[in-house]
């Protein structure tokens, strides 16, 4: 599935610690309670922002199909999209286990993790029985 190397840095270390535990982490503003995307830069005020586990579910709000050619020349079609997490933030991701010819708009999805080296990379899969 994941066809690229993943390397943690100072900004992503805590997020990847969470994915290795099977948690998709969001940033919570401790003053307002707002939940923000994991990419939010918490260093602007580390006492104000904390990481919290998300439910790991959401809805596809936009999608496309990426056409790829492997080193062996074989082609594949990979659905990718934007998932609105149930908590509100959006996440750009691959969407596995779906037919690339299906209309994925509005499809309910759940996070899964693929081990890549020492890391676990999040992606989403369709929840059965949803349109």
Question: With a threshold of 0.85, does the pTM exceed it?
Answer: yes
pLDDT at site 6: 77
Q: What domains, with CATH codes, occur in the chain?
A: 13-126 (2.40.50.840)
Single out the residue of 129, 130, 118 nearest to residue 19, CA to CA: 118
Whether 131 shows a pLDDT value over 60: the answer reads no
The number of angstroms, rounded, from the C-alpha of 106 to the middle of its chain's C-alpha atoms is: 16
- Average pLDDT in the 21-32 region? 97
pLDDT at site 55: 97
pLDDT at site 70: 85
Q: What is the DSSP letter of 54?
A: -
pLDDT at site 19: 96
Confidence grade of residue 124 (pLDDT, cut at 50, 70, 90): very high
Whether 2 shows a pLDDT value over 70: the answer reads no
């Amino acid at each position: 599935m994941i066809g690229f190397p993943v390397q943690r840095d100072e900004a992503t270390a805590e997020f990847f610690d969470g994915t290795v535990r099977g948690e998709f982490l969001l940033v919570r503003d401790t003053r307002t309670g707002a939940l923000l995307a994991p990419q939010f830069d918490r260093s602007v005020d580390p006492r104000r922002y904390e990481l919290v586990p998300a439910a790991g579910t959401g809805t596809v709000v936009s999608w496309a199909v990426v056409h790829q050619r492997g080193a062996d020349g074989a082609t594949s079609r990979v659905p990718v999209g934007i998932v609105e997490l149930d908590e509100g933030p959006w996440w750009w991701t691959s969407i596995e286990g779906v037919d690339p010819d299906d209309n994925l708009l509005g499809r309910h999805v759940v996070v899964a993790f693929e081990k890549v080296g020492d890391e676990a990379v999040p992606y989403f899969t369709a929840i059965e029985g949803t349109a």
